Amino acid sequence: EDTGDDDNYEFGKGDFTEHACRYCGVSNPACVVRCNVPSCRKWFCNSRGNTSGSHIVNHLVRAKHKEVCLHKDSPLGETILECYNCGCRNVFLLGFISAKTESVVVLLCREPCLSVNALKDMNWDLSQWCPLIDDRCFLQWLVKIPSEQEQLRARQISAQQINKVEELWKTNPDASFEDLEKPGVDDEPQSVALKYEDAYQYQNVFAPLIKLEADYDKMMKESQSKDNLTIRWDIGLNKKRVAYFVFPKEDNELRLVPGDELRLRYSGDAAHPSWQSVGHVIKLTAQEEVALELRASQGVPVDVNHGFSVDFVWKSTSFDRMQGAMKTFAVDETSVSGYIYHHLLGHEVEVQMVRNALPRRFGAPGLPELNASQVFAVKSVLQRPISLIQGPPGTGKTVTSAALVYHMAKQGQGQVLVCAPSNVAVDQLAEKISATGLKVVRLCAKSREAVSSPVEHLTLHYQVRHLDTSDKSELHKLQQLKDEQGELSSSDEKKYKALKRATEREISQSADVICCTCVGAGDPRLANFRFRQVLIDESTQATEPECLIPLVLGAKQVVLVGDHCQLGPVIMCKKAARAGLAQSLFERLVLLGVKPIRLQVQYRMHPCLSEFPSNSFYEGTLQNGVTVNERQSTGIDFPWPVPNRPMFFYVQMGQEEISASGTSYLNRTEAANVEKIVTTFLKSGVVPSQIGVITPYEGQRAYIVNYMSRNGALRQQLYKEIEVASVDSFQGREKDYIILSCVRSNEHQGIGFLNDPRRLNVALTRARYGIVILGNPKVLSKQPLWNGLLTHYKEHECLVEGPLNNLKQSMVQFQKPKKIYN
């Protein structure tokens, strides 16, 4: 079975070189020696770090080992140090003597050779014997001390840690420092910190958290087998077999995405043998149908439609790449510049400016004119090695990023790498950057090559297939043959792969900009690429190790774009989330004192809708780039309580219920009223694609979808086309009209998901023309932020109740908000 190239890739290419100091990682051959005790044979350097003796001397003393060997690339070559006279190898006894008249020196042991009288009669001067180990260090001219830079990039190890690891080596010679700090199975993992001594400590903290998340993800996905599925068979344009089926989604968190790998099984019957094949999800239809492109084209039981089972095939690729990036960050000095290295770890670094000529204009061809705050952002970022751009909702961060990338690419520092955690964001950015005239390559995961993309013409696999030069005809011929026959002879397959790889490299190398997801930056096809300039969009939605993947390809200038006032990365494992894995690198850098450059003009929301978010989340700095007139819904007859103020809070007193699965909530009254509002919108001339229904609970989401399709007053199809989704999946997107169903309505319990101010911010900032919020003010007002929101609506006479065609101001009493203790 062809598993694709990905699996042959060795992760963590930045492995320790064999001769790296086992304490600190320094690997300069002139600075290290090997302990020559056969059971040990570890390498150590001649730097002291924070301890009183050099690492090699520390090891020899504590392990009571006494022989060493120099590195083959050191000035003396591979040499076991020994007495020139008697061959004694105990380094604690050795020292150099020189000849009386010549510049010749030899090693001589002090016991007994130094006291041999006959030597004195020869040409040697014994009076000046100088010990090999001097001042708790090897003689520096023989084994060099690593430079200050080298030492700063090394693991900072204390005497206590040395003692501990030496103790561990007595029973387990292969133990590493990670083993020292490994928490027990039931221990809470170590929490993330603000600053780290070195990249090893960083790795010690994050590696276990990524492992926890990976384990949880695996467990959850692999438990998702579904039986008794009904299949609809089809054939794709590429002649591959495609299976369509409905993957029943329960209230759990699993959401299939294009590119996921599934195994489809049929247990067999009288007429069919048992069968199975894996495939990739290439599409999810609006009807929640999954399209699975199968790898096997032969033996598929296409005359059967019922009784299939499907399992999730879990892949560790993304987690492996995060672990690999952390390792590279630690052991490979060229992974990022010294400045970036120390900055990311929170060390105090003297401010550095990037010396580059600034362009005369900061906009870019093919893009809209930049506003003042966008120009300021571009200008500042171009001059700094690390910058943060905060883009509140609708402030044009994609355009700003694209303009920035344009200018970076024009600086002649090599190719620019542009990433984001999600494919959607990468596609958007790739499209905008391409509009400036730059040559863009969009690198997709192999598993997503069949997934349709709005920027298909920019993807590497498309460009490989459509490269129009005569010398590529051989590749095209083979490709055609492969498409027609489904497979190639093994020699042709070899030729095909080599040609394809060479073409891929050629196309990638000629691009100005490479765009891929953060995880995609760890693709083996980029293994030999170096990128000095890296921009990461949506960086506040990525975990730190995820962000690190694009950075360790040689970054010297880093731009993180995002908004830490909107939702962060989704962490499934509670333990890992509690330990801080959900905090993005952007956020930590903010806490470290890096001031984000904020884009200040929003072009999305009706000015009425931006007022509360601006005051509550952005200190009132958000300005409106759209006027009331530009956001007037002309011709739409909707009963807004205050004309020209397209918003209201619709008071709901219906009870919340626990959903059938027992893990989520729903609220029937709210669902019924959502349908009424949707219907009113549709009747007034709004089309389904303009409407978004947002609710924080999967139970309510499923209930609303179901309710509308059964009870909707208009054609069923209209309701099916309306997107009903969680707050989280609406992040980064917009709709003309938003209906928000809050669900929670109880006297005693909390309001759960709604408590997160960042989630509220996202929910309130998706609408361009109008918003309707359904909720129970009595319950919500206990929370200070919601209390503020309710007060805001009330003050503007937009807190209403009653039937939709006769809305009246509500007199409902709010509760006193609980104080927040911070």
Partner 1 sequence: EDEVHVRQKVAEVDPLEEADFDQELKAVVQESMEQRRQELRGRPTLNMMIPMNVFEGSAKDHHAKGIGGESGDEALDEETGVNKEVQVKVLVKRGNKQQTKQMYIPSDSSLVQSTKQKEAAELQE
Which of Zn ion, partner 1, none interacts with 216 (beta carbon under 5 to 8 A by kind)? Answer: none
- Determine the Cα–Cα distance for residues 70 and 107; give it in Å rounded to an integer: 14
Question: What would the two tokens of residue 820 be?
Answer: 């927040």
Query: Which partner, Zn ion, partner 1, none, binds residue 348 by CB below 5 to 8 Å per kind?
Result: partner 1
Cα–Cα distance measured from residue 33 to residue 29, given in angstroms and rounded to the nearest whole number: 8
Least CB distance to Zn ion at residue 146 (A): 7
Instruction: Give the shortest CB-534-to-partner 1 separation in angstroms.
Output: 16
Beta pairing, strands 308-312 & 533-536: unpaired
Contact call for residues 19 and 34 (beta carbons, < 8 A): yes
Asked whether 790 and 651 are in contact (CB, 8 A), the reply is no
Element housing 245 (H / E): strand 241-246
How far apart CA 744 and CA 649 sit, in angstroms, is: 15
Shortest Å distance, C-beta 589 to partner 1: 17
CA separation for the pair 280, 288 (Å, rounded): 16
Q: Closest approach of Cβ 14 to Zn ion, in Å?
A: 18
* Distance in Å, CB of 62 to partner 1, minimum: 8
Give SS3 for 115: helix
33 versus 499: smaller Cβ distance to partner 1: 33
249 Cβ neighbours under 8 A, 6+ residues apart: 255, 288, 702
Smallest separation, CB 60 to partner 1 (Å): 8
Cβ closest to Zn ion, residue 97 vs residue 682: 97
Tell me how far, at minimum, the Cβ of 328 lies from Zn ion, in Å.
19
45 binding partner (options partner 1, Zn ion, none; Cβ < 5 to 8 Å by kind): Zn ion
At 812, list the tokens: 């409902």
Minimum Å gap between C-beta 423 and partner 1 is: 33
With CB under 5 to 8 Å by kind, the binding choice for 122 among partner 1, Zn ion, none is partner 1
Q: Based on CB atoms, which residue is closest to partner 1, 158 or 480?
A: 158
| Residue placing its CB nearer to partner 1 in the complex, 66 or 782 | 66
Of the two residues 63 and 159, which places its CB atom closer to Zn ion in the complex?
63
Given a contact cutoff of 8 angstroms between Cβ atoms, the answer to whether 264 and 257 are in contact is: no
**Of residues 99 and 570, the one with the C-beta less far from partner 1:** 99
Q: What, of Zn ion, partner 1, none, does residue 61 touch, CB below 5 to 8 Å by kind?
A: partner 1
Question: Minimum distance between the CB of residue 160 and partner 1, rounded to whole angstroms?
Answer: 9
DSSP type of residue 432 = H
Burial class (CB in 10 A: 0-12, 13-18, 19+), 805: exposed
Q: Which does 755 bind (CB under 5 to 8 A by kind): partner 1, Zn ion, none?
A: none
**Which residue's structure tokens are 């591979």?**
78
Under DSSP, is residue 797 helix (H, G, I), strand (E, B) or coil?
A: coil
Q: In this complex, which beta carbon is closest to partner 1, that of residue 40 or of residue 304?
A: 40
Rounded to whole angstroms, the Cα distance separating 312 from 298 reads 22
Yes or no: say if 813 and 778 are a contact pair by the CB < 8 Å rule.
yes
205: which 2 tokens?
């903290």
Tell me how far CA of residue 503 lies from CA of 472, 506, 527, 530, 692, in angstroms.
8, 5, 16, 18, 43
Interatomic CA distance for residues 649 and 641, integer angstroms? 10
Tell the smallest beta-carbon distance from residue 84 to partner 1 (Å): 6
Element spanning 464, H or E: helix 460-466
Instruction: Select from partner 1, Zn ion, none the partner in contact with residue 24, using the beta carbon and a kind-dependent cut-off of 5 to 8 Å.
Output: Zn ion
Handedness of CA 547, 548, 552, 556 (dihedral sign): positive
The C-alpha atoms of residue 762 and residue 563 are separated, in whole angstroms, by 11
Q: How many whole angstroms separate alpha carbon 217 and alpha carbon 112?
A: 66
Q: Which does 338 bind (CB under 5 to 8 A by kind): partner 1, Zn ion, none?
A: partner 1
106 binds, among Zn ion, partner 1, none (CB under 5 to 8 A by kind): partner 1
User: HSE of 136 in the Cβ direction (CA atoms, 13 Å)?
Assistant: 12
52 binds, among Zn ion, partner 1, none (CB under 5 to 8 A by kind): partner 1
- Given the complex with Zn ion, which of 68 and 310 has the nearer CB atom? 68
In the complex, the smallest distance separating the C-beta of residue 173 from Zn ion, rounded to whole angstroms, is 9
Q: Which helix (H) or strand (E) holds 793?
A: helix 784-795
Question: Binding residues for Zn ion, per CB under 5 A?
Answer: 21, 23-24, 26, 35, 37, 40, 45, 55, 63, 65, 83, 85-86, 88, 109, 113
Q: Which is nearer to partner 1, 347 or 578 (CB)?
A: 347
Q: Sign of torsion, CA 226 227 231 237? A: positive
CB 90 → partner 1: shortest distance, Å?
A: 5
Taking CB within 5 to 8 Å according to partner kind, which of partner 1, Zn ion, none is near residue 350? partner 1
Q: CB of 805 within 8 A of CB of 771?
A: no
* Choice between 46 and 401, CB closer to partner 1: 46
Determine the Cα–Cα distance for residues 273 and 451; give it in Å rounded to an integer.
Answer: 31
* From partner 1, Zn ion, none, interface partner of 107 (C-beta below 5 to 8 A by class): partner 1
Which tokens belong to 578?
């509690």
Lookup: tokens for 564: 């830490």
CB of 88 to Zn ion, least distance (A): 4
Which partner in partner 1, Zn ion, none is near 490 (CB below 5 to 8 A by kind)? none
Please identify, using beta-carbon distances, which residue of 160 and 470 lies nearer to partner 1: 160
Task: Name the residue nearer to partner 1 (CB basis): 133 or 742.
Answer: 133
Nearer to Zn ion, 162 or 798 (CB): 162
